[in-house]
Chain A
Amino acid sequence: DQQVKQNSPSLSVQEGRISILNCDYTNSMFDYFLWYKKYPAEGPTFLISISSIKDKNEDGRFTVFLNKSAKHLSLHIVPSQPGDSAVYFCAASEDQGAQKLVFGQGTRLTINP
């Protein structure tokens, strides 16, 4: 039951370039979407979120885009920095974030100097 999918297990990007991480979902009841960054042996760190009433949310170098008709969201990081190297998880929730988070499998992002 993979309601949230991240189809790219890994992504390698040159420093300074744009990193684009993708996520697809199947549950139409999801109305809140989040991106987390995770280092080994640490808890997920919240990055940015978006409500289903919006199609874009920006916070500094991070922008999340939501395409509800395609049930697809993406995280753009620009410019990419070496410290961005981590595993990125997409997560979705019902009831404006009050309900459980359903996570994707994660994408390991490596930023090359």
Chain B
Amino acid sequence: EPEVTQTPSHQVTQMGQEVILRCVPISNHLYFYWYRQILGQKVEFLVSFYNNEISEKSEIFDDQFSVERPDGSNFTLKIRSTKLEDSAMYFCALRGGYEQFFGPGTRLTVL
């Protein structure tokens, strides 16, 4: 089972500020995903990233969001100008075999 860590575990920010959430896989992977879960709701897909390119994105993933692998290992999700409704748990996932394995998540709180 692939291991992945996420930093920070909790991020508090003011509305309109930029945040960068990081995903650090323990070993090399080609498939990365970002999901989020608003409190009390189901886990929602944001974006998938394969071979250093976005392969699919959801309606949620608008121009305020971007993903990249800045150094070939870390995988980041950037929200340029946060809104109150961006408050959620954000999960990075890796593909191992046919399954996706999730990181512990980053709790984003937008005030």
A97 touches B99 (CB 8 A): yes
Interface size on B, residues (CB 8 A): 26
Contacts A49-B98, A100-B58 given; does A42 touch B105 at CB 8 Å:
yes
A99, CB-defined interface residue at 8 Å: yes
Contacts A89-B42, A98-B95, A102-B45 given; does A42 touch B35 at CB 8 Å:
no
Q: In the assembled complex, how far is the CB of residue B7 from the closest CB belonging to chain A, in whole angstroms?
A: 13
A46 touches B56 (CB 8 A): no
Other-chain residue from A32, A44, A46 in contact with B1 (beta carbon distance below 8 A) = A46
B91 touches A101 (CB 8 A): no
Convert A58-93 into 0s and 1s, putting 1 for each residue whose CB lies closer than 8 angstroms to a CB of B.
Answer: 000000000000000000000000000000010100
Majority SS at the chain B contact face: strand
Contacts A99-B56, A101-B45 given; does A43 touch B91 at CB 8 Å:
yes
A98 touches B31 (CB 8 A): yes
By size class, the interface of chain A is 20 to 34
A29, CB-defined interface residue at 8 Å: no
Residues of chain B at the chain A interface (Cβ within 8 Å): 1, 31, 33, 35, 41-45, 48, 56, 58, 89, 91, 93, 95, 97-105, 107
* Cross-chain pairs A/B with CB under 8 angstroms, 22 sampled: A32-B98, A41-B89, A41-B105, A43-B102, A43-B103, A43-B105, A46-B99, A46-B101, A51-B98, A89-B43, A97-B100, A98-B95, A99-B48, A99-B56, A100-B33, A100-B48, A101-B35, A101-B43, A101-B100, A103-B42, A104-B42, A106-B42
